[in-house]
Amino acid sequence: KQEVTQIPAALSVPEGENLVLNCSFTDSAIYNLQWFRQDPGKGLTSLLLIQSSQREQTSGRLNASLDKSSGRSTLYIAASQPGDSATYLCASPAGQGGKLIFGQGTELSVKP
């Protein structure tokens, strides 16, 4: 049974800092891993999806990596900005189906 964990629950950094968000999963037979951003009270915005055959994906200042052997994924945000403040969630499908298993999220605050 896949379980997904995100630590820490909250993170505060000064503007301009590079940062890493962590995501751990228990089942290494992972099909893919998806990172989302959620602003308060809003829906989820898909940031990056990494297939099991890939090691990383990049989009602008974001870079996500996947290490199946260690059960970890990281989301790297370069040169953080106050607009990056949001909750970041990672999720992995339970098997081949559409059911996503989510972590609890990391609430990021970037201070000007």
Partner 1 sequence: DAGVTQSPTHLIKTRGQQVTLRCSPISGHKSVSWYQQVLGQGPQFIFQYYEKEERGRGNFPDRFSARQFPNYSSELNVNALLLGDSALYLCASSLSYEQYFGPGTRLTVT
Query: What residues make contact with partner 1 under the rule CB under 8 A?
Result: 4, 31-32, 34, 36, 41-46, 49, 51, 89, 91, 93-94, 97-105
Contact 62, 86 (CB under 8 A): no
Find out whether the peptide bond into 8 is cis, omega within 30 degrees of 0: yes
Cβ proximity to partner 1: between 4 and 110 the closer is 4
Nearer to partner 1, 14 or 43 (CB): 43
Q: How far is the CB of 98 from partner 1 (least distance, A)?
A: 4
Query: Which residue's CB is nearer to partner 1, number 33 or number 110?
Result: 33
**4-5 and 10-14: which strand pairing?**
unpaired
Sequence-distant (6+) residues with CB within 8 A of 54 are 66
Q: In angstroms, what is the minimal distance from the CB of 77 to partner 1?
A: 19
Q: How far is the CB of 19 from partner 1 (least distance, A)?
A: 20
Tokens linked to 20: 């890493």
Report the nearest approach of partner 1 to the CB of residue 66 (Å): 13
Residue 54 or residue 70: which is nearer to partner 1 going by CB?
54
